Amino acid sequence: MNEQSKSLVQLHFAVLLFGGTALFSHLLPWSALDITMFRSGLAACALAVMIKFQRDNLLLNNATDYKVALILGVLIGLHWVTYFYAMQLAGVAVGMLAFFCYPVVTVFLEPLFNKTRAHRRDILCAIAVFIGVLLLVPELSMQNDTTLGVVIGVVSGFLFALRNVLHKQYFSHYKGTQAMFYQTLVVSLMLVSFVDFNPLEMTGVWHDGAVGELGLLVVLSVIFTAAPHAFLAHCFRQLSAKTAGLISCLQPLYGVALAALILGQWPSSMVYIGGALIVAAAVLETILVTKNR
């Protein structure tokens, strides 16, 4: 197997792992904020070890980059909290699909920084996403947990899109592992004072014949957070941005499939239709934007 094929396999595996993070919103019996804080703290430690193992520089180039890292960390932290909370309210499939409006949101945010205009096709894709999100909503009432989960999922997608645009503009000269180390570190420090769960009460790696809370947390932080970011950093050396973007669009499909198989959360027919519209719009935007570049 040549290097490009290996990178392609690694990219699919990374996207599968990113999709699998959704499972922990239900596997771990904590609040979305607690999951995010503990996950970020362990991920920061794992990423620091990776950086040292790869003999990369742990320090940033200048004081401005530290300020950018702080802003990016705050955005990714708010994104993760809303991401897990959306799936706790609405289920993995609906929460993840609502969040996946972010590729189209990104297309509308980028012109604000690049001083360009959005194309007519971008508006059509946005309309398709809007219709897809409406199909995920069972009723137009914030008293409904699913509806509230959809709204929070869209907010999570907006935060993620804003973080990605700012990262590309001001922080893309750093490797993925180095960038994510600072962002996960900021998240853990930002949320530590708000944590309700006492870590001393956490069950161990193995508890009552099953994986305990500490075991699940380690798996989430190291295997489903630190590892896929390291894979992505390596894949970009061999694969084009178009390939990476298109395969990343499989994330909600992987996430929904894993939730159905492991958690038994099978989506309704309307969720399939709405999800198809959202993912199709994301794929189309990825193809067209990359082609233009």
Q: For residue 91, what pLDDT is reported?
A: 93
Q: Tens of pLDDT along the chain (293 residues)?
A: 677 777 788 888 988 998 999 999 999 999 999 999 999 999 999 899 989 988 888 899 999 999 999 999 999 999 999 999 999 999 999 999 999 888 888 888 878 877 777 677 778 888 888 899 999 998 878 889 999 999 999 999 999 999 988 988 898 888 888 898 999 999 999 999 999 888 888 998 998 888 899 999 999 998 998 888 777 766 766 666 567 667 888 888 899 999 999 999 998 888 999 999 988 888 887 777 666 65
Please tell me the total count of domains within the chain. Answer: 1
Q: For residue 233, what pLDDT is reported?
A: 63
Q: For residue 8, what pLDDT is reported?
A: 81
pTM: 0.89
Q: Which domain holds residue 275?
A: 3-292
Closest by Cα among 253, 268, 291, 264 to 100: 253
Q: For residue 262, what pLDDT is reported?
A: 92
Q: For residue 241, what pLDDT is reported?
A: 58
Inter-CA distances, 292 with 109, 242, 286, 288, Å: 17, 11, 10, 6
- CA separation for the pair 51, 230 (Å, rounded): 10
| Angle, CA 115 vertex, CA 114 and CA 121 arms, to 5° | 85
Q: For residue 237, what pLDDT is reported?
A: 66
Q: For residue 67, what pLDDT is reported?
A: 96
| Angle, CA 167 vertex, CA 162 and CA 173 arms, to 5° | 170
